[in-house]
Structure formats: structure tokens, C-alpha cells
Structure 1
Amino acid sequence: MAFRPRDLADRMAGQRKAGDGYLRETFTLPRDKARTKARDFLARYPKQAYMSSVESWRELPDGDIEFTMRRLPSAD
């Protein structure tokens, strides 16, 4: 049985979401609003306490930015 690259990508994405403990939020906003949203997110969930970061981002053909923020659920 031959595997396609997409099969591997789906399997890896399923493992990542299932067991790493991070909460993720994905946003699609115009560039200026995306920048503001990311700054607000990092101010609300500081990296030192929540290990927050921009996990991925890309520019869409219409100029909007799609990005995923991640953080730990609590700062114990």
C-alpha cells in the first residue's frame, strides 16, 4: 500500500493536536489588525508564563494574514 505525502501530513497533524497540551487559536485578519491581535494575545498570555507564540502564519491572496497562536492552558 503506497502512502501519499498528504497521508503523512494528516497523521502528524493528528498526533500534534492530540498530545502536546497547547491550546491553539487561528485568526484571519487584515495585516494591521493581525499585528494588533498578536500583540494583544501575547500581552494577555505572556511567553514566560504560558509559552505563547505565533505558531504559523501566511499571507493570503487577498492580502489578509492567517495565523495560529498557541499557548499552554494555564500558568501554574
Structure 2
Amino acid sequence: MSDSISAEQLRLFIERIERLEEEKKGIADDIKDVYAEAKSTGFDVKTMRNIVRLRKMEKHHRDEAEMLLETYKQALGI
């Protein structure tokens, strides 16, 4: 009996994961559409992606990354 319960639990977990993966794909498609819309109105999508990435970071990590980038740019004379 425990085999059937474990199999049932496993099936339920797999089905939940599959539903969430489908939702994730839908959300990814929606995000892609927003970037396409922004691009069609003249925004630079690469820069927008960088801004989104930076906004996800905590301030001290963002400051550290920006300082390191500036240091590297100065070292290369950029």
C-alpha cells in the first residue's frame, strides 16, 4: 500500500511541476512580448535588460558591481 501512496504522491508532484513549468513558459512569453513592444517604440532592449538585472540586486551588491566595472574600465582606459 505504501508503494501506491508514494506513486500517487510522486504523480501529484510531477503534475504540479508540469503546470508550473507551463505557467513559467507563459510568463516568459509575456516578458518577451513586452520587450518587443518596448523595442518597437524605440527603447534599447539590451539596456532595459541590464536595468532589470540591476534593480533585482541589493543596493550594496549593485554599488560593488558598478565600482568594479568602473575600476576595470579605468584600468583599460575606457
For normalisation by structure 1, the TM-score amounts to 0.31
Bigger RCO of structures 1 and 2 (CA < 8 A, at least 6 apart): 1
Q: Which structure is higher in strand share?
A: 1
For normalisation by structure 2, the TM-score amounts to 0.30
Q: Which structure is higher in helix share?
A: 2
Structure (1 or 2) with the larger CA radius of gyration: 2
